[in-house]
């Protein structure tokens, strides 16, 4: 089975490199290593941080993109999320969802912003007017009418409810693209089967941490100490952080389970209006 090369729209780093602290050469190193895993394009994802640090890392990633066409833009995950579903993010850096606050870090290379729609104070309309993909994540609201997608379904959001709206339920029934981390840790296989039966607009992501594909057993990420036990990465209080499996590993896992469809790779191209490029052959 052949598919286009993978596009990864949500990863925080890998091979010991953290996009929140990386230099230009670090970002380019990750780009080269990802290509070896069949990942032909990616959106470096910045976790919640200070305005100063985010601005610095945006500049670093933009600079790196001049030397690598694989760097497609920045995914900003954080700052504008709900403290109730903060996950591993540091709430000390959260800001109200206003245009004024976004302009503190605004850059045309930001292509995706994850935010909590229920806290919006005018930011969503502004982002959409600029062509930025708006994704609901780290949130509790069920109104997805003004977003393009949903960030890591089920994780850090209000779960399925049989009464009233919730983020996860709306993600399954509304016509929006929906990220999911199918690494076997963040979402159970039964939940994956439910998602794949319910939706066509699924986007596979890794949400990979800097610790992924490295010899590191612990690191500092999002201002928290993260520990890797060989299966999952968590904070000291047991909160699951991002994944430790790259996207190609996730695809191989789904193929083995009989849950994979080529459209899960093609969807990300459609979402961003990209023409499929390159090929990768998968053993069935």
Q: For position 284, what pLDDT does the model report?
A: 73
Residue-level pLDDT, tens digit, the chain, 284 residues? 999 999 999 999 999 999 999 999 999 999 999 999 999 999 999 999 999 999 999 999 999 999 999 999 999 998 999 999 999 999 999 999 999 999 999 999 999 999 999 999 999 999 999 999 999 999 999 999 999 999 999 999 999 988 889 999 999 999 999 999 999 999 999 999 999 999 999 999 999 999 999 999 999 999 999 999 998 999 999 999 999 999 999 999 999 999 999 999 999 999 999 999 899 999 87
Separation between Cα atoms, residue 143 and residue 120, nearest integer Å: 11
How is residue 200 written in tokens? 């066509």
Rounded to whole angstroms, how far apart are CA atoms 251 and 118? 33
With a threshold of 0.85, does the pTM exceed it?
A: yes
> Which tokens hold the place of 43?
């959106």
Question: What residues does 221 pair with on adjacent strands?
Answer: 224
Report all structural domains of the chain as residue ranges with CATH numbers, in order of start: 7-274 (3.20.20.140)
* Pairing, β 233-235 against β 224-228: antiparallel
Write the CB contacts of 192 (distance below 8 Å, at least 6 apart in sequence).
180, 182, 254, 259
Sheet holding 74-77, edge to edge: 6-11, 39-46, 74-77, 110-115, 133-136, 149-150, 177-181, 202-205
- The candidate with the shortest Cα–Cα distance to 251, out of 39, 40, 27, 44, is 39
Structure tokens at 68: 């690598």
Rounded Cα gap, residues 125 and 91, in angstroms: 24
């Amino acid at each position: 089975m052949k598919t286009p090369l993978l596009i990864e729209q949500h990863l925080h780093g890998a091979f010991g490199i953290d996009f929140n602290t990386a230099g230009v050469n670090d970002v380019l190193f990750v780009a080269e290593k990802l290509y070896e895993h069949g990942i032909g394009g990616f959106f470096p994802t910045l976790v919640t941080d200070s305005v100063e640090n985010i601005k610095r890392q945006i500049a670093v990633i933009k600079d790196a993109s001049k030397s690598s066409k694989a760097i497609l833009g920045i995914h900003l995950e954080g700052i504008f999320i709900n403290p109730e579903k903060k996950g591993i993010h540091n709430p000390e850096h959260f800001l109200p969802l206003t245009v004024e606050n976004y302009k503190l870090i605004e850059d045309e290379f930001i292509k995706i912003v994850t935010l909590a729609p229920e806290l919006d104070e005018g930011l969503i309309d502004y982002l959409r007017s600029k062509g930025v993909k708006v994704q609901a994540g780290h949130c509790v609201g069920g109104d997805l009418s003004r977003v393009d997608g949903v960030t890591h379904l089920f994780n850090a959001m209000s779960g399925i409810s049989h009464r009233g709206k919730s983020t996860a339920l709306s993600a399954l029934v509304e016509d929006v693209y929906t990220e999911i981390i199918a690494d076997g840790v963040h979402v159970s296989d039964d939940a994956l089967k439910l998602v794949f039966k319910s939706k066509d607009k699924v986007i596979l992501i890794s949400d990979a941490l800097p610790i992924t594909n490295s010899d590191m057993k612990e690191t500092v990420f999002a201002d928290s100490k993260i520990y890797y036990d060989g299966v999952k990465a968590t904070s000291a209080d047991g909160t699951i952080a991002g994944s430790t499996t790259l996207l190609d590993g996730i695809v191989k896992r789904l193929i083995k389970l009989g849950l994979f469809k080529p459209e899960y790779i093609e969807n990300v191209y459609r979402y961003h209006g990209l023409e499929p490029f390159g090929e990768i052959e998968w053993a069935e």
